[in-house]
Amino acid sequence: MRVSVDPDRCCSSGQCVAAVPEVFDQSEDDGVVLLVQPSPPAELRSAVRTAAGICPGRAISVQES
Amino acid sequence: MTTVEPIDAITFPAARGGCPFAPPPAYQEALEQRPVTPVSLWDGSRAWLVTRHEDVRAVMGDRRFSADARNAGFPFLSDGRRELAVENPSFIRMDDPEHARFRRMLTGDFIIKRVEALRPEVQRIVDGFLDEMTAHHPPADLVAEFALPVPSLVICMLLGVPYEDHDYFQERSRILLRNHSTAEQVRRARDELSGYIEELAERKANEPDERIISRLVARGDLTRAEVAGMSLLLLVAGHETTANMTALSTLALLRDPVQLARLREDPTLIKGAVEELLRFLSIVQSGTVRVAVETAEVGGTTIEAGEGVVCMLSTANRDGSVFASPDELDVGRDARRHVAFGFGVHQCLGQPLARLELQIALETLIRRLPGLRLAVPVEQLRYRTDTVVYGVEELPVAW
Ligand code: HEM
Ligand code: SF4
């Protein structure tokens, strides 16, 4: 799985961080998403899919491989 | 232009039915039979009611639908709401990039880590009000003694507003949110609140602190009116919502002993339970409003530029294609796809804080008061139907 984020679409809701803190973080200044792990291990993948599904800015893309 | 059959229009807001937690039956019928349906507003104007989860997310995430009430055709849900939305609107009634400019001045305060760091402080506040409430003999009104003071003190602390003034701003907040307030009443309440905050901001300019209002003043790129507007939005949105959610959640759990027992036995369920309660109760009963600035199709219906849209969050959160057995409260389900905080760029700025407050308030209430029960017959409870945020007027409890 490859994850990518689009900071321009992010509205700093923090939902991705709440769902998978191992993969997503937020900038200290304005809360915009930071990607910690672009290739998450198997056990986090379903949580990453959840995060992508609830992201209010549709800023998270997931490429299954 | 789409011609709207007059006979079909639902009068907005529609009356609630027998279950105090369920959306009005007319909206639920629309969800099943005609998910994008015309509604007739208080002044006789028309708008589209969007009821399905997928369609609500589509509208809220689409720039062709504007939150800026200065656009022609914007649907106002009352006379007072028009006043609030059009005169010096805050960023909740702006579109990007204007909206993002203001919102991003505040998002840093609501990042998950920073809000999580408030946990001990919020726990202390929750325990403090619960101590006070239980220091006297039951019954007590859970709304006035617990559900409202907790978020009110928390938002005052974050903004740097003296909590002693709570009666002043709580009274005026309620006028702003009430459907039957006249434009004149809303104007006066808003001006008084703005004046109050501008005065506070003036003092902070001389004696700065680390709180939000002071930092907004210190930026130097905002007018006093802008500082007041942003602070006011946080103050009003920051306590009425969480307060009503706390009291209504308590009532919903007291009415459903099986779910309450599950939570009592396994406190680790609390995070998920709060998401489920947000979904199940969907307290922003007015929904969220937008106007089409370009023609767009929503769920097979064409919405023309200049037509208003009301996104019904409560029906979207009971859409059976997303949530199995949607009319059941199930504290163990994964309800995170709910839209109780909206969707898209305006999705609730304060959501991490609201979640923290609700988790702590409900967990503490359940743990500390094992005998918590209603102190009046349930039929005697009165509900807040005539305002943006649904809730219960008073919740007399014993323990
Ligand atoms: C359970 C509690 C809450 C609920 C259900 C709730 C619900 C909502 C909803 C539905 C919106 C979107 C409005 C729209 O799109 O037109 C919103 C926006 C907003 N909320 Fe909340 N809210 C809650 C608590 C809070 C708290 C605690 C704060 C402040 C600390 C807050 C501050 C805001 C702000 C500033 C906005 C405007 C965001 C923007 O336009 O970018 N809310 N809220
Ligand atoms: S869920 Fe989406 S909008 Fe929210 S912080 Fe993460 S990337 Fe940004």
Task: Using pLDDT thresholds of 50, 70 and 90, give the confidence band for residue B78.
Answer: confident
Tell whether the torsion through CA atoms of B10, B14, B20 and B21 is positive or negative: positive
- Residue A28's pLDDT is 93
- The chain-wide mean pLDDT, for chain B, equals 94
How far apart, in whole angstroms, are the C-alpha atoms of residue B55 and residue A28? 33
Looking at residues B45-68, what average pLDDT do you find? 97
Please answer yes or no on whether A14 and B103 come within 8 Å at the CB atom: no
Looking at residues A27-52, what average pLDDT do you find? 96
What are the tens digits of pLDDT across the range B2-16? 554 545 789 999 999
> Three-class SS of residue A43?
helix
Looking at residues B184-204, what average pLDDT do you find? 93
Tokens 């998002």: give the residue: B107
Tell whether the torsion through CA atoms of B306, B307, B308 and B309 is positive or negative: negative
For the cut 70, the answer to whether the pLDDT of residue B299 exceeds it is: yes
Looking at residues B26-51, what average pLDDT do you find? 95
Q: Which of B334, B310, B312 is nearest to B324 (CA)?
A: B334
Q: What is the 3-state secondary structure (H, E, C) of chain B?
A: CCCCCHHHCEECCCCCCCCCCCCCHHHHHHHHHCCEEEEECCCCCEEEEECCHHHHHHHHCCCCEECCCCCCCCCCCCHHHHHHHHCCCCHHHCCCCHHHHHHCCCHHHHCHHHHHCCHHHHHHHHHHHHHHHHHCCCCEEHHHHHHCHHHHHHHHHHHCCCHHHHHHHHHHHHHHHECCCCHHHHHHHHHHHHHHHHHHHHHHHHCCCCCHHHHHHHHCCCCHHHHHHHHHHHHHHHHHHHHHHHHHHHHHHHCCHHHHHHHHHCHHHHHHHHHHHHHHHCCECCCEEEEECCCEEECCEEECCCCEEEECHHHHCCCCCCCCCCCCCCCCCCCCCCCCCCCHHHCCCCHHHHHHHHHHHHHHHHHHCCCCEECCCHHHCCECCCECECCECCCEEEC
- Residue B3's pLDDT is 52
Output B251 or B173, whichever has higher pLDDT: B251
**Which superfamily does CATH assign the domain made up of B10-398 to?**
Cytochrome P450 (1.10.630.10)
Looking at residues B150-165, what average pLDDT do you find? 96
Least confident of A31-35, B4-8, B92-96, B385-389: B4-8
How far apart, in whole angstroms, are the C-alpha atoms of residue B184 and residue B277? 36
Report yes or no: A8 at the B interface, CB cutoff 8 Å: no
Tokens 């023609």: give the residue: B295
- Residue B233's pLDDT is 94
How far apart, in whole angstroms, are the C-alpha atoms of residue B229 and residue B234? 9
Q: Where are the domains of chain B?
A: 10-398
Centre a 10 Å sphere on the Cβ of residue B16 and count the other Cβ atoms it contains: 18
Tell how far the Cα of A13 is from the centroid of ligand 2, in angstroms.
5
Our measurement of the distance from residue B295's CA atom to the centroid of its chain's CA atoms, rounded to an integer in Å, reads: 29
For the cut 50, the answer to whether the pLDDT of residue B106 exceeds it is: yes
Tokens 């990453």: give the residue: A48
What are the tens digits of pLDDT across the range B274-294? 999 999 999 999 999 999 999
Give residues 129 to 188 of B whose Cβ lies within 8 Å of A. none
Looking at residues B150-176, what average pLDDT do you find? 93
**Mutation for testing the A interface, residue in B107, B219, B336, B358 having most A CBs under 10 Å:** B107
- Residue B6's pLDDT is 47
Report yes or no: B97 at the A interface, CB cutoff 8 Å: no
Whether the Cβ atoms of residue B344 and residue B61 lie closer than 8 Å to each other = yes
Q: DSSP character for A2?
A: E
Please answer yes or no on whether A18 and B345 come within 8 Å at the CB atom: no
Looking at residues B365-372, what average pLDDT do you find? 97
Please answer yes or no on whether B108 and A14 come within 8 Å at the CB atom: no
Task: Using pLDDT thresholds of 50, 70 and 90, give the confidence band for residue B32.
Answer: very high
For the cut 90, the answer to whether the pLDDT of residue B161 exceeds it is: yes
What domains are defined for chain A? 2-63 (3.30.70.20)
**Mutation for testing the A interface, residue in B56, B112, B288, B336 having most A CBs under 10 Å:** B112
Q: Which of B182, B159, B101, B74 is nearest to B353 (CA)?
A: B159
Dig out the tokens for A23 from the structure. Answer: 């993969």
For the cut 60, the answer to whether the pLDDT of residue A42 exceeds it is: yes
Output B113 or B178, whichever has higher pLDDT: B113
The burial class, CB within 10 Å (0-12 / 13-18 / 19+), for B264 is: middle
Model pTM greater than 0.90? Answer: yes
What are the tens digits of pLDDT across the range B55-64? 999 999 999 9
Q: What percentage of chain B exceeds 70 in pLDDT?
A: 98
Task: Using pLDDT thresholds of 50, 70 and 90, give the confidence band for residue B380.
Answer: very high
How far apart, in whole angstroms, are the C-alpha atoms of residue B311 and residue B48? 8
Task: Using pLDDT thresholds of 50, 70 and 90, give the confidence band for residue B238.
Answer: confident
How far apart, in whole angstroms, are the C-alpha atoms of residue B54 and residue B59? 9
